[in-house]
Structure 1
Amino acid sequence: MGWRYVAPGIFLVLVKITGTSLFLAFIPEIFPRGNFSFVPEENFTAVQVPELRWESYRGNLYTFSEEMLEWGASYSECMDQNSNLVIINDKKEMEFLQNKTRNADYFIGLEYPDDDNKWLWLDGTEPKGNLFTMRPNEVNKQCATLRGSVVSPASCFQKNRWICEKRNG
Structure 2
Amino acid sequence: MAGEIVYADLNIPAAFSASKSLHPSQHLNIPQCPRWHRIALWLGWAGNIILAAAVIALGVWGQNRGQRMTNGTECNSNLEDSQSCLKPRWYPKPDNNSTEDCGCKLCPAEWLLHKNKCYWVSKESKSWRESHEDCAAKSSEMLVIQDKEEMGYILNITHMNNVWLGLNVTSPERKWTWVDGSMLDETLFQLTGDKEMDSCGMIKKNHTISEICSDVAKWICEKVALK
TM-score (norm 1): 0.63
Pairing of 1:25-40 with structure 2 (within 5 A) = none
Structure in which a larger fraction of residues adopt helix? 2
Asked if structure 2 preserves the Cα contact closer than 8 Å seen for 1:133 and 1:149, the reply is no
Residue of structure 1 in register with 2:58 after alignment: none
1:145 aligns with 202
Equivalent in 94, 102, 114 of residue 57 of structure 1: 114
Separation in structure 2 between the aligned mates of residue 53 and residue 106 of structure 1, nearest angstrom:
18
What's the offset of the Cα at 1:141? 4.5
SS in 2 for 1:98: helix
Are 1:113 and 2:170 counterparts? yes
In structure 2, C-alpha distance between the alignment counterparts of 1:64 and 1:107, rounded to whole Å: 11
Secondary structure of the corresponding residue to residue 131 of structure 2:
helix
Which protein is bigger by CA-based radius of gyration? 2
Describe how 1:3-152 pairs up with structure 2 within 5 A.
53-139=110-196, 141-152=198-209
RMSD: 1.8
CA distance in 1 between counterparts of 2:150 and 2:162 reads: 17
SS at match of 2:219: strand
Q: Deviations over 1:108-148 (max 9, x none)?
A: 11001242311111122111223224213255651111134
For the 8 Å contact 2:169–2:196, the answer to whether it is kept is no
- Maintained 8 Å contact 1:66/1:161: yes
Distance in 2 (CA, whole Å) between partners of 1:94 and 1:79 is 22
Matches of 2:210 and 2:181, distance apart in 1: 17
* Uncovered stretches (5+) of structure 1, i.e. residues with no partner: 1-51
CA distance in 1, matches of 2:190, 2:152: 13
Unaligned runs of 5+ in 2: 1-108
- In the aligned structure 1, how far is the partner of 2:189 from the partner of 2:157? 15
State whether residues 100 and 148 of structure 1, in contact with CA within 8 Å, keep that contact through their aligned partners in structure 2. Answer: no
Which protein has greater RCO, CA pairs closer than 8 Å, 6+ apart? 1
Q: Provide the rounded CA distance (Å) in 1 between the counterparts of 2:153 and 2:205.
A: 10
